[in-house]
Structures are given as structure tokens and as C-alpha cells.
Structure 1
């Protein structure tokens, strides 16, 4: 039985399933059903829901009964049917988990609890609430797959009655179904369920597109009906001649699948070659390959259109042979060849698995105890649970569930299933998070390949790693799996946090020294409650980001120091100096010749290496800074330190924010040839060769040109702005001197933004 025939939609008011009808439906496939349990559940739910109404005006109690009816068509066990009848009682009535446990047992109570949304979520966004409820549901599914079966039946009935729901909510529910529940049913191999959920969502979200596709498919069916019948007859006759008992049936692709493929591949409907296909059902696996032999000897196969999912099943346990041939009338004909048992599993997926009926295992290559689909889902849920927020969890769930798959291999032959579009980065993280974090290169089928290459079915992938490597943040936008994206995001956060923690430690060390004290980790840990932080690292990172003033930390550890003075006030005799640690030295730079404010002895400035160093450092956006310049750092909360030359006019914008000034110094490693940014403004005579002379002077001195812009033009002169990268101030000076010596150059100035 397929889901196309399950619980047909009833027009008009819902016909409520009667008590004896529910029992009869279960006993039709399970003569040993617990009739008393089913009757008690029916009466309890009816009383609990009382006079509640649905949006359609029907009694609310009709909904759980329709959900139960869908599950009886799938021939599920008594506990699942009872859970379906009771699934909304805890959420929408006065019923409690304790009462359900007492009346129906812990097993059913656990199923109903798993289906109950979290109430009164104190979350800002609907997306966060949606993510938290999905997290709860999937964790319950990981404990018992029957929770998912009830949830999918619940969503299917809600989608069948979606037209009664307000338009605004209708779109949200349909999109959620398309993003989460249809892929979930596909992941569990329940293709019939997936098809109907996608169709109902498609019709709700894009009614005009849906109507257009359906109309055109109806026209094509009318036009090609005779050809389809001819192919069915011809193929059936040829198989019968070879003594193969087979059922051959033509089928039409679902409207949503057609639309999705048109969108994905930018094709017109007439360009699709698989709108019509044929399914061949036989009794045994041996017959599957005999059918394949008959088909391929009778008609030529289409290259690249053969897949054997019997020898290599999909992750959702799907098994079948797919092939495309050039059949009668030179028409491309897509064929699916499978046994009847495989077909049952393909349509109803895990719901057809004997594990949930009599404890056995179907003869479809699945080890007894747990199906591949369910074990794969459990692994996915375990990975998703690592997301740091509800929104991330929701995002990663969609990534993991929505994609088709490719199968790749490790050099040792281990099979790795990945979503379509996956890269060697995804592969590395699928093998182990540590391999993904340290990946630096890849070989695909023995050849060097970029880490962002798209993997194909059957690729053998080898990952090269380097100790100490950290994944670049840009990887987050390049990967296709939620696991890889979460790992990259986590590694980036950890790296940035480490940078800010290091900066915060240096700032605090100087702050304590400025006030005649010694920085002590233990003393800071002792005052964490006063600082409203959970750990020392939290404090260090907050100070490094500029989210917490260093003076507050000093004062929390040493309350006797007292409050800081306002900016610009000089300390009186015997008064403590500035808490702001960085400010005194920076005022010494900023006001040459003036006495430093709050001088408390020599201070150690923060060492600066460059943008690739250990601190979150960037350089002034206009003009930059190079080793040899006297420099000052400006702390920007959440961004780090921006380095300016001391002569930069941009520093005047920070005159009234002394708490952001940092004393910094260059700390250049001679073994690391780092380049630093600078800008040069050149006024050149407007004649041929002038620009070549400018760029030549830069190149002859061993520097790089990052950008050249002509800022203004006149009949005689051109104003040119050159962004260069140099080793130090000496090299920059040599470039400017050579430019001034050029006959075509009238003026050269360094830009200090």
C-alpha cells in the first residue's frame, strides 16, 4: 500500500472516525490488538478535547483520529496508534504527562511527550522558538522513531486541511513542511509521504506555478498516453518471453519534482527527459538483474544514466536499479527495477520495516536491530545537537536533510555519504572534526584538487593535514553540510576568542601595573560574580573586545582604589593614576612635550606584528601604517585594534574617547617577510609614460602595488593615489624619493587618513 491511498481527503465537514471503526482498522492487520487500550485512549482524548474546534469549524477531536487513521494504513503497532490519538492532549488540554503515564503506561507517555511542543518559550524570534521545538522533537525521535511517524502523519493531515488556516500562517506552515518535514520523510525512505507533503506545500506557496505545471502535465499525458501503453505492453511481452514474471507500470513525475528540476537546472518543461518513467516490479534480486539484461540488449542505454542502488543502497535504505534507454519511437525511457519488497520499502520507508511490527528484519539487506535510515538519522541528530543556538540548529537541520546524496570513499575504502554539492572540506569533517580543522589539501582519485572542488559519486578522496592549521572563516560559505559549517564557525569563534583573550590579558596586566598592583588570575576568578562573567576567559575576551572597561576589573579586585576621574582631569597629589592603563602613554604620543597623565612608571606597550599575528589587528583604512612609524592603537568594541600613525588626522575623532587609546609598538619578526599598507598621493604631468614611471619606481624598490586610482584630471596634471605594500618606513621613503626625482612628477606626499 502506498501513501497515495492513505486516509483520502474528505470534502466538506470531517466525518469523525467512530470508536469501533478505529479498533476494526487496527485488528484488520493485527488480530491480537489491545482493544481495551484503544477504546480507553479514544474516550480519554474525546473528553480531554471536549468542545475544542479546528480552524475549519470541525471538532478538534477529528484531527487526532485522522492522524491515527493514516498510521493504521501503515499498519503500525498499538502504542503508536494510541500515541496518535493522544498526541495533542498534553499540549492543548489539561492532561499531564503523569496522568498519561498512569493511565496508558510510560511507553505511550514518552511518545506523547516527544510530540509536545515547548510551551511559553521566552525567546525573541519565532525562528529561535521554531528551532528549539525542532531540537526537542528530533532528540525525541533519536530515542524512538515512532515519534517521527506520528509527527509526519500529524503534519500530513494538517497540510490536507491547510486551506482552512489564515493566509499568513498558511505560508509559514507550508514552507516549514517543505524545508523540514518533507525531507525528513524522504530521509526515512517514505517517498509516498514526501511526494504528498511536497505537492501540498507547492500548491500553498505557489498556487499559480502549481496549476500551470499540473495543466501542462495533463496535456502531455493525453498526448503521450498511447506511447506509454505501447512501451508497457512491449516491455511486458519481452520479459514474459524470457520467463520473468514482472509488473510494468508507467508513471508520471510529481508536479513539485518537475518544477524543482526546472528551477534547479534552468530548463523548460519540454527539455526534461524523465517526466514519464516506468517501474518494473519482480520477485527476487536475481530477477532485477535479468530484467536489466533484457532491457539493455533490446534498447541502447544512455551513457551516464545507470545507477545500482541494490548493491549500494541509499542512506535511507532505498534499493533499486535505475537506467535510461532509447526505447520505441526513439524516446528516452527511464526505468526503475526493484523487487516488490524493495518497492514497499521505497514507498513507506521505515514504516514498512518489520522492526516496528514484529521485531524481525525484512530481507532487503538491513541488519536486524536498526535500519540504515534510522541509524543515519540518529548520527545526524547527534551532530546537529552541537549547534550553539536554536537558529544554527534550524539552519543545519535544513542543510542536512534537504540535499540529494553522493557517495565517496576514503583511501581505505570506507564509504562516506554526503549531500550533493559537497566538497573535500565536507568530506574531511565527515571523517573526523580534527581532520577537517587541519585540512590543507586534497587528492581526488589520486590527483591534486582544490578543497572547494565539487565531489561526484564514486570519488576516492584523500585529505592532507597540517598540525596547527585553523580553518579559514571563508570556509563557512563554501561547505554543504551542517557539520562542516558548525565546525568552521566554532573554530573561527575559538580563534577570535583566543585573540581577544590574549589582548585582554595584556590590557589588564598594564591596567594593574598602572595602579601599582599585580595582575593575578586567581584574584580575578574570585570576583567573577561581581563582573557578571562565568570564567576568566570570558573576562579577558570581554576586555579585549572593549565590552568591559579594564578599570572595572581593577576596581572589582581592589575596591580601595576608588572611582576613576573623568577624561581630561589631571590627578592631584597622592591620588591614584588612571585606571585606563593605555591612556597615559598614548597622551604622551598625542601631545608631544606634554607631561603624561597619571605617570606611574615605565609601561610595556602592546606588541603589534600585523594582520596575521596573534591579536585582532587591522590598519587605518586610509593610509595604513608601516614599521618605523610611531603608532597608536584605537580599540573598537567587537572588532579589535586599528593601528594609526601618530600623525594621522583621523585620530582627532577619538579625542573625547581616551578609554579607547592603546599604547602599541612594532614587534617585527625578521624571518617573516610581512608587508604593510601605505598610501602615496602623486601629482604627475599629463604626458605619455607618466603612470609607467610611477609604477616603475614602486617595482624597482621591491614593493607591491595594491591599487592605483586617478583622483582628478586637468589638461596639465593628474592626481594619482597609489596603495602600496612595503616592508618598513625606510622602503617607503626610498620609493617616495625616487618618485620625486622623476621628471614627470611634480609632487609626492604620503597620505595619513
Structure 2
């Protein structure tokens, strides 16, 4: 275990102004707090925060980050408190340690929900200070290095979380070396057979290639030196997980991969990068389609390099990455290589935002996904944002938009602005109209066609590839449903107040919101529309002296309004009707795209020609019943839920409506065929059939029919009764 002075020496090696007193105090405090605690390996628990601190010294982070690494488990696993740490080490370090502390005693049912809430807390803390993430990644790296000591039933869960969240986070912060190690450690747990197979193949390949790597390195160095370019050549071998992922992605075998061994050419300046590229391309044959310029167009994590593949000695494909020494440092350490960490002001998020594209992306991502979503949605959106193999597209004005592979014009629209996505109705790709579901390609110029009347369909949520687009579509859908229920709630209250002889006003409702447990008027109206808040409760809140007299509903239609169902049907709706002598206005409603969804009663349905009534159903909208339905008796004590409606169906309409009949027929061969023939000849349709009772002589069945109107239904029932095999036919009204 590293001693106190050794830790100070590691930090002093890259930071001569090290605060030795701060490091010493943190070392002693953490060791005392963890005391006799042991890890699963049997080692003293304090060895873990000490190793995390050592990883951060390898990244050359500031004193505060190393101190936080030493203290990161104290609040969660010992008697230490945030206040105590603030008094001893300052409020900034205490805030960082608190950001790394998991949420305890969460009242959440699923493990995914708990995982999501802890991740949300971490990312919100990261958005304030990126050092929280760097310590967390180092913490996860050491835990993965020692995962063999963890109980077997927990290893897969930890490895899966590492692969899905922490390794991609390291990659998005540009910390490629840490990402690759995390992926490999997780891969070894999640797929040990594949890991062993690829490792064995790599060992065999190294033995077969012999000195080929050294020969290529010497050849490249010699050619560049003769051209006046000082370059260092580094060879590297792909890690097992990177190989496995590429084999899966490209559907190829190990032997078909050409970039298992690659070479980095490190030069002094950006100009030398392009000079070196020219020398390489004039000395060797280039593989077409394998050149990428990430210097002129850096990745979102600030990665910059030239990539090319050439045919080298012995006709082997050789992958080259050409970059400066500084670019290589950023490629390996990412945001941890930022100069703010050397200046001791790594918590300056505004300056870091301005200077670091990776941190700016992280802040924007947190703002997009950290508010208002259910835990499982938050976890899904975070993963979508992390797993991004990018394509670069352009707006008509030349603005560069980075998107994940598989992204559509819808994703592009939301990447430009949420309002652009919400009003998107079409797209032009490279000047040509294109489907909104068409995947975009590198270099596409995309123009979004908009309409202010547009609302994003919920189905878009399953098409898009970015978390921002999916979150925005779901928010728009929820807002639309909220407006639906708010409109329904408003009309319900107006009707209830009118029935009670009181005046409804939104100003009066707003004044009592706090008494009803709501802070927003539209939320309260939506609660009324869903049935969560009863109109009588609102009445009593605004008019404390009101006492409800329960009167069974009596319906007497007069003037006509409209009711549209979500089947595309229209019903005439009285504007006014008499209810036991009291005048009350009927409720105008539209279908799913306006106020509330409408459906037919599940038991028996209703057809044009029936006298019908609508019942407000909490959380569902309005259900249409025939007036003779016995189910209506259950609503006798809730008159405010009754809506008087009438049919308005054209005589020549081809729309069919649901009805149910009960048939008792002889139990003999051919009976069902005879019944089906009657329905078919009459141009009816059988939607469902259930056998209720069957004995030696008779069978009782229920048949769900689809008919045009009551006259059509009565004709089918009459024709059925005329059949010799049918004993009786009755209509079922629930």
C-alpha cells in the first residue's frame, strides 16, 4: 500500500506547488475513518481510495482531485458528514465528495430506477465540476481491476453497467486509454469465452508476424527523416473488445481484419501532420475510402488526428494515425489533459465550457436529459447519447451538426433546435426531398421543412437515434395529453359549477390551488380531466358553504353541438339540456387530436339508431353506452360524469359499429356455418365469437358483430331467428 510521502512525491513530480499539508491531512483522515474496514479481497479498505488517488496522479490532476479521491467513500461508508469535510478541507472538496456519494434508501421499485437516479445525481454534480466524473471513472477502473474478488452474482451487473455507462462516458470525455481498459475488463466478465478466443488468436498472430512491426516502424521513420520531418513512430495492437466489437459490427472473422496492428506517427506541428501524410501517400499505395481528417473536423470529444490505411511491406494493410504530440496527449487523456487542471482552477466551469468541446457537450446533454423524465427514460436517453459513432451533416448555411450513425432528418431537426424538431414536417437532403426516416450520411446537407401546425407524432420516438430527439418527442406528447385533459377538466368544472348554480372562474380556482395541492392551474385542470381531482372538491374549495345535493341525471336534449370519436365518427351533442328542471350545458368534445379520447362500451358497443349517453371515465376520456345498458346504473350517483350525445352519421356511411348478440342454437354439424352464412349474406361482419354454454342439444354463444346501424343489426337478428337451427337471438347491452 502506498505510503503518505509516496503519494505527495507522485503529485510533486508534475506539480511543484503541491499542497503537501492538504494531501497529508486527507490521507490521515481517510485512513482513520475507514479504520478496520476490509475489501472483498481481504485488503484494508483504505487501499481502494489510495489506488484511486494513484490513478489520478497518473492523469496529472490537481491537488483537490487527489484529495477527493482519498475521501470519496467517506460519506457513504463511514461516519463522516459533508459538514465535517467542509470544515476540515473546505466547501469545494466537500461538494465534490457529496457528488460522488450514492443516493441512499431510495423509495424505488426497480434496480434500473435506482441506477438511473444515482446516475442522474452523478451527472448533475459533473455538470457543476468535471472532476467528479474523473474521480468516479478512476474509482470504477480500480473496482474493475479487482472485480475477481466480488461475489459472482454481482460481477455481471457491475461489468454491464461499466460497459453501458462508464466506458462510453470515458470515451466521450476523450479518455481513450481508460475507455479501452474499462471495456476490456468488462468484456472479460460478460463474455469470457470470446475474450479467451480473441486473446489466443492475438498471441498466435504476434508469433507469426515476428519482426514485421519493427520493419514497418523503421521504414516509416527512415522515409520521414529523409524528407526533413522528425517523427516518433508508435505501434499499437487493438484490444480484444475492440476486435470483438468490429467483428460484430462488420460481420467479419478475425482473419479478415486489417487493422489489428496500427501505427501512430507523432510530429511537432499541424503542418507536419499534412506533410507526413503527403510523404506516406506518395511512398505507398493508399486504400481508397480509408482516409479521415479529424484535424480539420475534430470529434466532439476533441479528438484530432489524420487516419489513413496504406499497403505496406509484404502487401500488408497498415493503418496509420498521424498527429502532433499534443493531439496524442489529448487523445489518450481527453479532458483530463486540459490545462485548467494544471492551473489549479479546474472548477471554473464557464472557462472550461468555453475551451472544451467535450465538457460543453456534457453540460448540454445533462440539461437535455436530466429534468422531468422517468428514471428508466433518463437511463435510456443517457445511453443513447453515449453510444455515438458519428456522422457529420450541414445546415444550408454551413453549420456543422454531429449526429450518431443511423440518425434521421428528425434527429437533425432536433439537434438544430427543439422548436425546429417539434415543427418538422419534411426534409430535403442534398436538395432532394427525402423521407424523414432516411439515415443520414457523412457530408449530407439537410434542410428542414417546417409547419407551425405540426405536432411530433409519438411514433417518432421509436425512429430517432438521439436522446435529445426522443426526450423532446416524449415531452411534446406528454404536454399534448396534458392539454387534452386540461381542456376536458375545464369543461367538466364549468358543467359541474353550472349544475350547482355557481359561477366558475379560473381566477377563483387559481386562488385555491395551494389548498388542493397544486401549484399550476393547468396541472390542476388536467387532474380534474383525469379524474384525480373531483369537481365537488373544487366547488367546496372555492365555495366553502356549498353542499352537494345528489340528483339522478335526467336528460332532455335541445340545441345541437358536436362530439367526435377517435374512430373518426361524429355525434350530435345538445348544447343545453334539462336535468330535473335545472338547465345545464352539454360538453363539446373533440377526438384524440383535440380534447379527449372517446371509445365504445366494451360490453356490447353501440350502433347508430341507439339512444346513447357518454360517461366521463377518469384517465380514459369518454365511453359511449346505449341508454338501455345496465352498466349505467353504477354512475347514478355521479351526475357530473354524464354527457348527452347524439349520432350524426350519414345514411350512406360505410363505417361499421360494434354490437353483440347472444344466440342459442341446435348443437349439430353445420350450425356455425349457417349462422356465419346469414351474417355474410346480410353484409355484416363477425369480429369475435365465444362459446358460453354447450350441452347435448343446444349451444349458447356470444357473437361480436360489426354493422352499419340499428336497422342493419335488427335485420341480421331477424334473419338468424328464421333459421331452423337457431332457437333464440337477443342483443347484449352489457
1:218 correspondence with 2:203: yes
Which residue of structure 1 lines up, in the alignment, with residue 355 of structure 2? Answer: 370
TM norm structure 1 = 0.79
Separation in 2, partners of 1:72, 1:710: 71
Which residue of structure 2 lines up, in the alignment, with residue 656 of structure 1? Answer: 634
Which residue of structure 1 lines up, in the alignment, with residue 582 of structure 2? Answer: 601
Separation in 2, partners of 1:57, 1:120: 27
Structure 1 residue 624, shift from structure 2 partner:
7.1
Equivalent residue of 2:290, what SS?
Answer: coil
Separation in 1, partners of 2:609, 2:316: 75
**Cα deviation digits, residues 448-487 of structure 1 (max 9, x gap):** 1122221222221111111132111111121222221111
Equivalent residue of 2:555, what SS?
Answer: helix
Separation in 2, partners of 1:127, 1:674: 50
**Pick aligned residue for 2:405 from 403, 420, 427:** 420
Give the superposed CA RMSD: 4.1
Alpha-carbon contact 1:607-1:664 (below 8 Å) kept? no
**Pick aligned residue for 1:306 from 269, 291, 308:** 291
Pairing 1:157-556 to 2, within 5 Å after superposition: 157-358=142-343, 370-528=355-513, 531-556=516-541
1:29 correspondence with 2:9: no
Alpha-carbon contact 1:500-1:616 (below 8 Å) kept? no
**Pick aligned residue for 2:657 from 678, 690, 705:** 678
**Cα deviation digits, residues 544-569 of structure 1 (max 9, x gap):** 22334434444554565546xxxxxx
Quickly say closer, same or farther: Cα 1:446–1:43, change in 2 above 3 A. same
Alpha-carbon contact 1:608-1:664 (below 8 Å) kept? no
Structure 1 residue 367, shift from structure 2 partner:
9.6
| Higher mean displacement: 460-469 or 218-227 | 218-227
TM norm structure 2 = 0.81
Structure 1 residue 436, shift from structure 2 partner:
1.2
Separation in 2, partners of 1:710, 1:535: 46
Separation in 1, partners of 2:61, 2:439: 41
| Higher mean displacement: 451-460 or 97-106 | 97-106
Quickly say closer, same or farther: Cα 1:526–1:350, change in 2 above 3 A. closer
Quickly say closer, same or farther: Cα 1:445–1:167, change in 2 above 3 A. same
**Cα deviation digits, residues 696-727 of structure 1 (max 9, x gap):** x99xxxxxxxx998989xxxxxxx99979x9x
Quickly say closer, same or farther: Cα 1:283–1:464, change in 2 above 3 A. same
Give the number of equivalent residue pairs.
676
- Structure 2, unmatched stretches of 5+, are 559-576, 661-669, 691-702, 720-729
| Higher mean displacement: 424-433 or 520-529 | 520-529
Which residue of structure 2 lines up, in the alignment, with residue 616 of structure 1? Answer: 597
| Higher mean displacement: 469-478 or 124-133 | 124-133
Structure 1 residue 642, shift from structure 2 partner:
3.2
| Higher mean displacement: 351-360 or 407-416 | 351-360
Separation in 1, partners of 2:130, 2:58: 17
Alpha-carbon contact 1:79-1:108 (below 8 Å) kept? yes
Equivalent residue of 2:301, what SS?
Answer: coil
1:643 correspondence with 2:624: yes
Alpha-carbon contact 2:127-2:362 (below 8 Å) kept? yes
Alpha-carbon contact 1:514-1:577 (below 8 Å) kept? no
**Cα deviation digits, residues 2-59 of structure 1 (max 9, x gap):** xxxxxxxxxxxxxx10111111111222223222222222122212222121122111
Quickly say closer, same or farther: Cα 1:291–1:625, change in 2 above 3 A. farther
Quickly say closer, same or farther: Cα 1:33–1:367, change in 2 above 3 A. closer
Alpha-carbon contact 1:355-1:370 (below 8 Å) kept? no
Which residue of structure 2 lines up, in the alignment, with residue 4 of structure 1? Answer: none
Structure 1 residue 335, shift from structure 2 partner:
2.0
Alpha-carbon contact 2:199-2:240 (below 8 Å) kept? yes
Separation in 2, partners of 1:368, 1:384: 18
Quickly say closer, same or farther: Cα 1:188–1:451, change in 2 above 3 A. same
Structure 1 residue 638, shift from structure 2 partner:
2.3
Equivalent residue of 1:656, what SS?
Answer: helix
Separation in 2, partners of 1:83, 1:436: 41
Quickly say closer, same or farther: Cα 1:342–1:515, change in 2 above 3 A. same
Quickly say closer, same or farther: Cα 1:675–1:150, change in 2 above 3 A. farther
- Structure 1, unmatched stretches of 5+, are 1-15, 564-575, 589-595, 699-706, 713-719, 741-748
Alpha-carbon contact 2:427-2:433 (below 8 Å) kept? yes
Structure 1 residue 87, shift from structure 2 partner:
2.0
Alpha-carbon contact 1:67-1:85 (below 8 Å) kept? yes
Structure 1 residue 639, shift from structure 2 partner:
2.4
**Pick aligned residue for 1:143 from 128, 131, 141:** 128
Separation in 2, partners of 1:315, 1:657: 60
Which residue of structure 2 lines up, in the alignment, with residue 50 of structure 1? Answer: 35
Separation in 2, partners of 1:496, 1:273: 53
Alpha-carbon contact 1:301-1:325 (below 8 Å) kept? yes
1:585 correspondence with 2:555: yes
Alpha-carbon contact 1:610-1:618 (below 8 Å) kept? no
Quickly say closer, same or farther: Cα 1:75–1:479, change in 2 above 3 A. same
Separation in 2, partners of 1:609, 1:109: 55
Alpha-carbon contact 2:309-2:319 (below 8 Å) kept? yes
**Pick aligned residue for 2:645 from 655, 665, 684:** 665
Structure 1 residue 186, shift from structure 2 partner:
0.7
Separation in 2, partners of 1:56, 1:610: 63
Equivalent residue of 1:386, what SS?
Answer: coil
Quickly say closer, same or farther: Cα 1:217–1:721, change in 2 above 3 A. farther
